[in-house]
A and B are shown apart, each in its own frame.
Chain A
Amino acid sequence: MRNPHDIIGSYVTDALDSGDVMEFAEHRAECEDCSNEAAEFAETLTELTHVTAVVPPTELRGALLAAARQRPQLPPEPIRLRSPAQKATGRRGRVSLLLAAAAAALVVALGGWLHSSTQVQSYQVAASEEVSLLSASDVVVRRSTVSGAPVSYIVSEQRQRALVVGEGLAAPGPGRSYQLWRLTSAGAQPDALIPVGGTFRTWVSGSLNDVTGLALTLEPAGGSARPTTEPLSLVKL
């Protein structure tokens, strides 16, 4: 991408092609001007919806409020890594924050999982694998959000393992699944599906050799061989 600034417009209008989403997501995280401009454009587009306003059918209101009563709400975001104050603590501080966050994310994920499982033994196995990953000296955590739900990628090159944890992911919808992808020089390689339920901890199943990034997309149920949608979350390694 020659000038990432050029595509902010396409980014905020959800019109990026998948290749560009990858580059831009990374650029935006680093570029304050882009972030500011994207935020201003989001407000501008909101103004634009004045011209398309239409009163919805009255029955929608009742149906929605009834459905909301059945729908549990997510708790406030547990960890926030990218607040300006934390940004200012510099790289060293950030790494330890990331590790703390990874541990916290795992506790949350494991806690949820443990609740629903009586397989204590397999829990111990899973936990020891996770401890092994987390204790690797080169472990990195890449945090992202999918529609506000936290999704973190915990990766160690030394251990050749990557774990993706998340909480409160919206249901994929009927006939669809969330799928992980490994990004390599040969393109995106299909990886594990994320089980339905919102809170998950899923190991990346394929080899991490030659992997430059990881991504998450919404695919037809059962997953795809090639991504059919743009990534909801994407991190570079």
Chain B
Amino acid sequence: MHLVPGRPDPSRARPSWSRPGGPGAETEDADRRAQREARSERLHDLITQCARGDDSSFAELYDLTSSRIYGLVLRVLRAPELAGEVTQEVYLEIWQQCSRYTRDKGSVLAWMTTIAHRRAVDRVRAERSRIERDSRHAASSAVPEYDTVWEGVGRNLDADRVRRALDSLTRIQREALSLAYFGGYTQSQVAQLLGLPLGTVKTRIRDGLIGLRDTLGVGA
């Protein structure tokens, strides 16, 4: 997965001057990328130590990542008690599985985030079908929220940078991506919620991710 240089994809060839941030953002980008790599290496060391049963490394891994993981789980589940419970399950799975982590699974944080998202989505869907069973009215009258996530929370440089990248997407791309990733809806549910054909939703989600990837300069 690391071996992707030069993959022919015109959407990646966006010159740096056309990226949000404008001229001069180049060195800032480079600094940030270096920082990100250093953080990522630290997480890699920690997970290697965790795999040998070192619980103090696990504690540090938690300290460095928990606001990202908990915040995501909370955003999907919206209920703090549930989010705490699911976050604990997520970290226990990570503790249990950490010897199975290898670099070809992506960065440590991406690996952890994937686990967390999967669990949060499983849980929110289970909760939704329970609510639906309990009272069909409650589910149908629930108004989904979207496109509000980008405001408030987490005022820092990284969050601002990501928020700017999100602003560069079209509204439909942002809404489709947000409902799928943070709302925990399936693509057909997203299509229904937005009143768009399924095919359109699929391409908007993907286009949104391509846009973010290129703007944020993320590689695998």
Interface residue ranges, A against B (CB under 8 Å): 5-10, 12-17, 20, 33, 35-36, 39-57, 60-61, 63-65, 67-69, 71-77, 147-149, 168, 170, 173, 218, 228-229
Contact = CB atoms under 8 A, between A and B. Distances in A.
Interface in B195-213: 199, 201-209, 212-213
B80 to A, nearest CB: 7
Interface string B55-95: 10011001100111111101100001001100111011101
A49 B1 contact: no
Given A42-B113, A67-B92, A68-B55, A10 B187 contact: yes
B137 interface: no
A49 B213 contact: no
11 contacts: A9-B207, A10-B186, A13-B177, A36-B4, A47-B212, A47-B218, A52-B153, A52-B182, A55-B66, A77-B102, A228-B129
B118 interface: yes
B142 to A, nearest CB: 18
B88 A53 contact: no
Nearest to B115: A147
Given A9-B209, A35-B1, A60-B87, A51 B153 contact: yes
Given A42-B110, A64-B62, A65-B62, A51 B149 contact: yes
Given A9-B204, A43-B107, A68-B95, 8 more contacts: A6-B202, A6-B203, A16-B186, A48-B212, A51-B154, A65-B62, A76-B51, A147-B97
B16 interface: no
B188 interface: yes
Nearest to B173: A9
Contacts of B15: none
B114 interface: yes
Interface in B91-114: 91-93, 95-102, 106-107, 109-110, 113-114
Interface string B176-187: 010011101111
Interface residues of B, number: 86
B125 A229 contact: yes
B144 interface: no
B219 interface: yes
Contacts of B216: 44, 47
B117 interface: yes
Contacts of B26: none
Interface of B: 1, 4, 7, 51, 53, 55, 58-59, 62-63, 66-72, 74-75, 80, 83-84, 87-89, 91-93, 95-102, 106-107, 109-110, 113-115, 117-118, 121-122, 125, 129, 149-150, 153-154, 156, 158-159, 161-163, 166, 177, 180-182, 184-188, 190, 199, 201-209, 212-213, 216, 218-220
Contacts of A51: 149-150, 153-154, 159, 162-163, 166
Contacts, number: 221
Contacts of B184: 14
Given A13-B177, A44-B216, A39 B99 contact: no
A60 B84 contact: yes
Contacts of B51: 73, 76
A67 B110 contact: no
Contacts of A33: 7
A40 B149 contact: no
